[in-house]
Amino acid sequence: DGGITQSPKYLFRKEGQNVTLSCEQNLNHDAMYWYRQDPGQGLRLIYYSQIVNDFQKGDIAEGYSVSREKKESFPLTVTSAQKNPTAFYLCASRQTGDSYGYTFGSGTRLTVV
């Protein structure tokens, strides 16, 4: 089945460490997105990429970095510069053009200890 795979499901990080969250899709979608969700709140856009080797900052990009070297993969690095990284991180993809529907992964819950 086609879909989006996020790994790991749970991740613990010590303060001051960088950590990378994986997002892989086999839907042949052009665009990929990273969102952050805090308890009781909606999703906030971190970064997005509409095409390989290109990406743009979202609303809360500070302290995060991404790469898009392959169409299928869009990893997110949470750097030590992110002051409050504990959150639920969601990756999504969408086919550009006429499609409006986004497909989301099952998320990675990151906890800083």
Partner 1 sequence: LAKTTQPISMDSYEGQEVNITCSHNNIATNDYITWYQQFPSQGPRFIIQGYKTKVTNEVASLFIPADRKSSTLSLPRVSLSDTAVYYCLVVRRGGKLQFGAGTQVVVTP
Within 54-113, which residues bind partner 1 (CB under 8 A)?
Answer: 58, 88, 90-92, 96-98, 100-107, 109
Kindly tell me which residue out of 11, 45, 60, 61 binds partner 1, with binding defined by CB under 8 A: 45
Residue with tokens 């290109």: 54
Kindly tell me which residue out of 34, 48, 55, 64 binds partner 1, with binding defined by CB under 8 A: 48
DSSP per residue, 54-81? EEEE-TT-TTEEE--SBTTB--EEE-TT
Kindly tell me which residue out of 2, 15, 40, 84 binds partner 1, with binding defined by CB under 8 A: 40
> Which range of residues in 12-20, 44-52, 63-71, 73-81 is near partner 1 by CB under 8 A?
44-52
Residue 35, CA distances (Å) to 1, 84, 98 in order: 23, 15, 22
Output the six-digit token pair for 35. Answer: 């969102």
Query: What Rg, from alpha-carbon coordinates, does the chain have?
Result: 13
Binding residues for partner 1, rule: CB under 8 A, are 4, 33, 35, 40-45, 48, 58, 88, 90-92, 96-98, 100-107, 109
